[in-house]
Structure 1
Amino acid sequence: MSAITKGGSFVIESASWEQIKTPEDFSEEQLMIADAAEHFIENEVLPRDSELEKLDYKLTVELLRKAGELGLLGVDVPERYGGLGLDKVSSTLISEKLAKGSSFALSVGAHVGIGTLPIVFFGTHEQKQAYLPDLADGTKIAAYCLTEPSSGSDALGAKTTATLSEDRTYYVLNGAKQFITNAGFADLFIVYAKIDGKHFSAFIVERTMEGVSIGPEEKKMGIKGSSTCPLILDQVKVPVSRLLGEPGKGHVIAFNILNIGRFKLGAGCVGAAKEAIALSSAYANGRTQFGKPISSFPLIGEKLANMNIVTYVLESMIYRTSGLIDAILQNIDHGSDQAGVQSAKGIAEYALECSIVKVFGTEALDFAADEGVQIHGGYGFIQEYKIERIYRDSRINRIFEGTNEINRLLIPGTLLKKAMKGELPLMEHAGSVQEKMLEPATREEEGEAAFAAERRLLATAKQIFLLIGGQAVQTYGLGLEEEQEVLARLSDMMIRIYAMESALLRVEKLTHTSGEERSRMAAAMTTVYVHEAFAQIDLDAREAVAAMASGDLLALQLSVLRKWTRHTPPDTIRLKRYIAERVKSAERYVVW
C-alpha cells in the first residue's frame, strides 16, 4: 500500500482488494513469530493454567519473562531500544495467538500495549533508553493508570494531581487509580494526573518511589488470573525527567494509546473466538443425543456457521486495519524528537477504525462465546469446560478501553470532526446522495460478475448512511451530539459497512490470487454476512429516519429506503449448512 488511505474514507470511497492486507498475505517471518507465540502458549502457559487462574503473581511474572526472552514482549519496541521493531501485522498475530492463554494474555496485552507503547511513541530518547530494554525482555513489567474511582470514560475528569516543586526538579503526585491491570506486580506505571489540578499530563512512576502503594485485588467475574488493583499515590515525588510528553498534553498520549489498545483488543477477540469454535465443534461432534451427534442437527450447525462467519468478518477487519496502521507508521524514526507528534498523528488517523474493530470484535466474541455455551448445554455452565471461562472472560471486553457505548458515539463523532476540518468531503457526498433520491433504482441482472450483488449492496449501504447522516446534521446541527440514539444507529451502520467491505475485499483478493475453488468457503460467508448486515442497516436507517422526520418528509424518506433496499436475497440456509459442514469436519475455524 503505497498511498496512505484516509481514516474514515471507506464510507465515501470504494476500496480495491489490491489495497488491503489479509491473513493470506502473511510472510514467512510473520508466520514464524505467530508459531513461536502459539508454541509458547501451548507448552509453557496452558500446562500451568490452573495455577495462573488462582492469581499466582510469581508464576505470571516468570512466564512474562520467558515470553520476553522469546521476543514476544518486544515486537513493538524499536531495535535500537532492545526490541524487535516488527510491523503491526506481526504484533497483531501475537495478540491473536496469545488469546488462548486467557488471563495471562491480558497480562501480556496490558504490558506490551498500553503499558509500553506510551514510552515507545511519546518518550524522550533518555526515557526510551532507561525503560524500553527492560520492558522488551520482561525484566520490568508495565501498567497503565487512567481510570479513577470517580472517572472512567470521562478520563479528563481525573482528580489525581501533580504539583511542581519549588526548585522545579520534581512533581508531587497525589490521588488514586482504579482497576489497574498488572498492578499487583508491575514495576512501573504510566500515570495520568493534572498539573496544578488543570493540565492533564502523563508521568512514568516507578513502584519503588516513596508514597506508591497498591490496594487489594478486586474479586472479578472473569479474567481471574490477571491482577487488578487500585494504585494509591501519596506525596509521590516524580522527577521532571519522568514527565511523558509535554505538560498539559496527556490527552494526546491517553487517547492515542487507547486507540491502539482498542485495536489490539479486537485482535485478541479473534483468537478467543477461534478457540470457542474449536471447542464447540469438537463437543458437538462428540455429544450424542437421540442416537446421533448433536452436530448433525441443523440448528446446532447453524450456530457453528454463524460463529465462523462473524469470526471471518472480524479477522478480515483486523488485518485490514493492521495494514493501514503499518503503512502510516512505517517511516517514523522513533529516535527523533518528532516521533511522538508523528506517531500521534498517524494513530489518530485511524481512531475511527480502531473503535470500529473494538466494538465489532468484543460483540462478535460475546456472540461466539454465548453460542458456544449453548452448544455445550448444561456442560457449558460447568467450570470444567473452558467455554464457561471464555464466556465469563469475554464480558469485560465491552467495558475495556472505553465502553462500547462511548466508542459508538466516538465513531460518527470522529467522522464529523474530520469532515469539519476538511479532511474528508463528507457533506459533499451526502449532498450528492440526496440529489439521487428520486432517481430510479438499479436493477439486478442475471449472469453478473462474481460478487456483483454484494458490491451493489455495499454501495447502497454507503448511500443510505450518507443520506441518513446528512439528514441528521441538517436536522440537529450542533445538537446532534445529544441525540445519542441516532448517533448509535449511524455508528452501527458504519461498523457494518466496514465489516461488509473488509469481508468482500478479502474474498475478492482470495479469488483473484487463489481461484474460485479455494475461495468458495469465504464466498459463502461473505454472501451471508453482507446480506444479513444490509438488512440491519435498513432497519437502523428506518429507525433513525422515524426519529428525525414526520409527515410527508418521513413518507418520502421511507419510500426512498424501500426503493434502494429492494433486492433478491440468497438462500442463506443452504449456505450456512455448507459452512457448518466445513466447520464440523475440521473441528476448528475454517476459511477455505
Structure 2
Amino acid sequence: MLRFSTFLTKNHSCWVMMQKSGHGLSLRAYAASSAQPAPKSSTENARETKKEKKAFVTNSFVMNLFNGQLKSDQVFPFPEVLNQEQQETLQMLTDPTAKFFEEVNDPLKNDLIEKVEDNTMEGLREMGAFGMQVPQDLGGVGLNNTQYARLVEVVGKHDLGVGITLGAHQSIGFKGILLYGNEAQKKKYLPPLASGELIAAYCLTEPESGSDAASIKTRAVLSEDETHYILNGGKIWISNGGLAEIFTVFAKTPVKIPSGEVKEKITAFIVERGFGGVTNGPPEKKMGIKASNTAEVHFEDVKVPVENVLGEVGEGFKVAMNILNNGRFGMAAALSGTMRFAIEKATEHAVNRTQFGNKISTYGSIQEKLARMAMAHYITESMAYMVSGNMDRGFVDFQLEAAISKIYASEAAWFVVDEAIQILGGMGFMRDTGLERVLRDLRIFRIFEGANDILRLFVALTGLQYAGGHLKELQKAMKNPAANLGLILDEGAKRMKRVVGLNNGSFLTPYVHSDLAESASKVNKTIEQFGVSVENLLMKYGKNIVHEQFLLNRLANSAIDIYSMVTVLSRASRSLQQHLSSAEYEHNLTSVICSEGYERVQLNLNSLKTSEKLKNFEKMSKISQDLCKHGGLVQQHPLGF
C-alpha cells in the first residue's frame, strides 16, 4: 500500500525542494509543518472585526439581483484568495491525494462490496483526510475553503462513494461543532474526529420529515435535575449512520418563549454512541454511492448532557440550515471533478473511435455533445471556486449562490456523464468502463442536502422576500415624500433608465474584458428584466406568490442562468486579462454560454406574464390533479382494454 511522506519542516523552501525532487506530502504532514502565524495586535483584530461586520451586512450578488441591481464585489474580479505559498503547498497536497486514489483506492471494488475498503479508510486516516478544515491546533489540516474544494474535486473525480463518506463526516457531520461549538466542545471532539479515530454523521431526516425539516418528531426533554436531556426518536437515510460514533442530532425541545408560553422548537445536540441507547439498522440497499454507509439511526432514552447542546436551545433549525449552506460549495467542487473524469473518457474515445471512415470526433453531433459537456463543466467549476473564494474573503451572505451551485452542479454532472456514456456507446454501458457506476452514484445528488425542487423554491422565495422588503421601504417613503425625497428620486431615476433602456450594457462594462462586451450586454439586459419581473410578480400576487410554484421555478431558473453567465464572464475576463493559454477557449465557452443563457432567461421571464403560458400552467395543474385522483394515467388504452 502507498504511504505518503511525513516530512516535518517549518521551512517553505524545503517543501518546494521536496516537490521538485518528486516526494509527496501528506495532509497531516502539512498540518504539522505549517508555521503558526504571529499573534495579531489589538489594532489588527479591531480592523478584522470591522471588516466582518461590513461583510455581514453586505447582501450577495444573487440577493441584489432580485432588486434588478448588480452588486459587483462578490463576482468581479474572479476571486484569487491563495497566495503563492498556499498554491505551491496545495499542489503538493493535490498530487499525492490523486496518486492515492489512482493506486490504492478501487472504486469498482468498493461499489461491489458496498463499503470503502479497510486499507483505503486507513490510508485516508494517515493522510489526515478526515479533518481537512479542522484548525491545526485541534489536530486538523487547517485548509481554507478554496484549498478544501480543490482536494474534494480530486476525490470527486475518482470515487463519489468515498467522497460521501468523507463529506458526510466533515462537510456536515461535525461541521456544526466547527461553526457553533464552544471551546470545550471543540477541544473534546474535534481532535479524534479530525484524525478519523471517530466518524461523524448528520441526523436530520426522518420518515415524515424530508425537505420539511421543521416537522421532525424526534424529541429531547430536559431531566428533572436539569443535568441532561432524554432523547427519543429515529432518523433515516443517515450517511455514515452505521459507522459513526458522534452524531449531530436535531430534536424538538420544549422552550419557554418571552410570553411565558411553552413551544416546541428544534435544538441541535452532539450525541455519542457511547451514551447508550443509540442503535442503527443494517446498511441500506441503494441505487448508487453503494460504498458509503447509509442506515437508520435510533435513539431510545439517550441521556445527553446539557453541555452537549450545540448552539442555543431552540436554535437548531438555524444550525441545521447553516451547516448545509456552508457545505454545499463542496458538492459543486466534487462534481466538477466527476465531470472532468467523464469528459476525459468521452474525448479519448471520440478521437480514437473510427466509424464510417472517420474519427467520430469529426462529426457535428459528437462535437456538440463535447462542447456542451465542456460548457457545463466550466460553469460548475467556476461556481465552485467563486463561492469558496468569497467564503475565504470573509463574505457571509452566500446562501443563494451555494444553493444555485448545488442545483446546477448536480444536474450538469448527470447530463455530462449521461452524454459521455452515449458517446462511448455500448462500451459506456459496461461496468469496467466506470461510467455506469458514476451515473448511479450521481442520481442522489439532486435529492440529498436539499432536494433541487425545494432549493429552487428557496432561491426564488428568499430573493422575493428581500425584494419585497425593499418595496415596502419605498411604499413607506411615499407616505412622507418630503422626508424621503432622496430615496424616492433615486428609485425614480432607476426606473426611468429601465424604461428608456439607458442601463443596457453599462453595469458590466467596467468589470468585463472588452472582448466579451457583446456577452456582457446580453447579461446586463437579463439583470434589468429580472428585476422588473420580480417587481411585477410581487405587485400582482403579493404574499400569495408562495403558492405560484410554476412561476417560482421559472424565476429560479432565470436566477441560475444569470448567476452562471456572470460567473463565467468574470472568470473568462480574468483569463483574457492575464493572457492565459486557454483564454481563447474560455472566450468561446463564455460566448456560447451567455448567448444561450440569454435566450433561456427571455423564455422563462416571458412565461411569467404570457397569457398562453399561464393557461398552460393551469392545465398542467388540472392534469396532475386528475392523475392523483385516478391513481395513475387517466386516458383509455388505444386498444380499448
TM-score bracket for the superposition, by shorter chain length: 0.7 to 0.9
Shift of the alpha carbon at 1:488? 1.1
Structure 1 residues 242 and 288: alpha-carbon distance in aligned structure 2, compared to 1, 3 A threshold? same
Given that 2:116 and 2:292 are in contact with CA atoms closer than 8 Å, whether structure 1 keeps it comes out as no
* Residue in structure 1 matched with residue 316 of structure 2 by the alignment: 250
Structure 1 portions without partners, runs of 5+: 330-345, 552-592
Q: Which has the larger radius of gyration?
A: 2
Deviations 1:248-272 (A, max 9, x none): 1001110001112322112111111
Given that 1:177 and 1:231 are in contact with CA atoms closer than 8 Å, whether structure 2 keeps it comes out as yes
Q: Tell me the number of residue pairs that the alignment of Structure 1 and Structure 2 aligns.
A: 526
The one of 91, 101, 125 equivalent to 1:41 is: 101
* Residue in structure 2 matched with residue 267 of structure 1 by the alignment: 333
Give me the CA root mean square deviation.
2.8
* Residue in structure 1 matched with residue 204 of structure 2 by the alignment: 146
The one of 258, 264, 275 equivalent to 1:209 is: 275
Shift of the alpha carbon at 1:305? 1.1
Structure 1 residues 431 and 183: alpha-carbon distance in aligned structure 2, compared to 1, 3 A threshold? farther
The one of 34, 39, 59 equivalent to 1:6 is: 59
Given that 2:221 and 2:231 are in contact with CA atoms closer than 8 Å, whether structure 1 keeps it comes out as yes
1:461 partnered with 2:519: no
Which secondary structure state, in structure 1, belongs to the residue aligned with residue 271 of structure 2?
Answer: strand
1:289 partnered with 2:355: yes
Deviations 1:514-546 (A, max 9, x none): 25x640000000001000100000100111122
Moved more, 185-194 or 429-438: 429-438
The letter for the 1-side match of 2:117 is L
The one of 389, 407, 411 equivalent to 1:363 is: 411
Matched residues in 1 for 2:493 and 2:448: separation? 38
1:545 partnered with 2:609: yes
Structure 1 residues 297 and 449: alpha-carbon distance in aligned structure 2, compared to 1, 3 A threshold? same
Shift of the alpha carbon at 1:434? 4.8
Matched residues in 1 for 2:504 and 2:145: separation? 42
Matched residues in 2 for 1:425 and 1:503: separation? 34
Q: After superposition, where does 1:53-202 map in structure 2 within 5 Å?
A: 53-55=111-113, 57=115, 59-60=117-118, 62-99=119-156, 100-196=158-254, 198-202=264-268
Matched residues in 1 for 2:245 and 2:613: separation? 56
* Residue in structure 2 matched with residue 31 of structure 1 by the alignment: 91
Q: After superposition, where does 1:217-228 map in structure 2 within 5 Å?
A: 217-228=283-294
The one of 349, 352, 356 equivalent to 2:400 is: 352
The one of 574, 584, 595 equivalent to 1:509 is: 574
Given that 2:220 and 2:229 are in contact with CA atoms closer than 8 Å, whether structure 1 keeps it comes out as yes
Matched residues in 2 for 1:173 and 1:441: separation? 61
Shift of the alpha carbon at 1:424? 12
Shift of the alpha carbon at 1:207? 1.9
Deviations 1:145-199 (A, max 9, x none): 1000111000010000111111111111111101000112111111111114812
* Residue in structure 2 matched with residue 535 of structure 1 by the alignment: 599
The letter for the 2-side match of 1:232 is H
Which secondary structure state, in structure 1, belongs to the residue aligned with residue 275 of structure 2?
Answer: coil
Q: After superposition, where does 1:406-425 map in structure 2 within 5 Å?
A: 406-419=454-467
Which secondary structure state, in structure 1, belongs to the residue aligned with residue 546 of structure 2?
Answer: helix
Structure 1 residues 239 and 385: alpha-carbon distance in aligned structure 2, compared to 1, 3 A threshold? same
Shift of the alpha carbon at 1:20? 2.5
* Residue in structure 2 matched with residue 580 of structure 1 by the alignment: none
Matched residues in 1 for 2:107 and 2:495: separation? 57
The letter for the 1-side match of 2:500 is E
Given that 2:81 and 2:393 are in contact with CA atoms closer than 8 Å, whether structure 1 keeps it comes out as no
Which secondary structure state, in structure 2, belongs to the residue aligned with residue 175 of structure 1?
Answer: strand
Shift of the alpha carbon at 1:421? 5.7
Which secondary structure state, in structure 2, belongs to the residue aligned with residue 384 of structure 1?
Answer: helix
Moved more, 79-88 or 415-424: 415-424
Structure 1 residues 187 and 426: alpha-carbon distance in aligned structure 2, compared to 1, 3 A threshold? farther
Shift of the alpha carbon at 1:438? 4.2
Moved more, 284-293 or 205-214: 284-293
The letter for the 2-side match of 1:511 is L
Moved more, 13-22 or 142-151: 13-22
Matched residues in 1 for 2:472 and 2:557: separation? 20
Matched residues in 1 for 2:540 and 2:127: separation? 56
Structure 1 residues 29 and 426: alpha-carbon distance in aligned structure 2, compared to 1, 3 A threshold? farther
The letter for the 1-side match of 2:139 is G
Structure 1 residues 386 and 164: alpha-carbon distance in aligned structure 2, compared to 1, 3 A threshold? same
Deviations 1:89-129 (A, max 9, x none): 00111111111222111111111100121111111111111
Shift of the alpha carbon at 1:361? 0.8
The letter for the 1-side match of 2:332 is G
Moved more, 211-220 or 431-440: 431-440
The letter for the 2-side match of 1:66 is G
Which secondary structure state, in structure 1, belongs to the residue aligned with residue 607 of structure 2?
Answer: helix
Matched residues in 2 for 1:58 and 1:15: separation? 43
* Residue in structure 1 matched with residue 41 of structure 2 by the alignment: none
Which secondary structure state, in structure 1, belongs to the residue aligned with residue 129 of structure 2?
Answer: coil
Moved more, 376-385 or 178-187: 376-385
The one of 413, 418, 439 equivalent to 2:500 is: 439
Deviations 1:380-401 (A, max 9, x none): 2222221111111111111011
Structure 1 residues 18 and 356: alpha-carbon distance in aligned structure 2, compared to 1, 3 A threshold? closer
1:480 partnered with 2:545: yes
Which secondary structure state, in structure 1, belongs to the residue aligned with residue 296 of structure 2?
Answer: strand
The letter for the 2-side match of 1:6 is N
Given that 2:77 and 2:570 are in contact with CA atoms closer than 8 Å, whether structure 1 keeps it comes out as no
The letter for the 2-side match of 1:318 is A
Matched residues in 2 for 1:550 and 1:392: separation? 36
Shift of the alpha carbon at 1:489? 1.1
Given that 1:161 and 1:194 are in contact with CA atoms closer than 8 Å, whether structure 2 keeps it comes out as yes
Moved more, 120-129 or 67-76: 67-76
Structure 1 residues 425 and 69: alpha-carbon distance in aligned structure 2, compared to 1, 3 A threshold? farther
Identity across aligned pairs (percent)?
A: 35
The one of 587, 602, 621 equivalent to 1:523 is: 587
Which secondary structure state, in structure 1, belongs to the residue aligned with residue 197 of structure 2?
Answer: coil
Structure 2 portions without partners, runs of 5+: 1-47, 255-262, 476-486, 506-512, 616-641
The letter for the 1-side match of 2:371 is A
The letter for the 1-side match of 2:456 is R
Given that 1:430 and 1:470 are in contact with CA atoms closer than 8 Å, whether structure 2 keeps it comes out as no
Deviations 1:453-506 (A, max 9, x none): 011011101011011111011111111111111111111111111110110111
The letter for the 1-side match of 2:100 is F
Which secondary structure state, in structure 1, belongs to the residue aligned with residue 393 of structure 2?
Answer: helix
Matched residues in 2 for 1:253 and 1:520: separation? 44
Shift of the alpha carbon at 1:278? 0.8
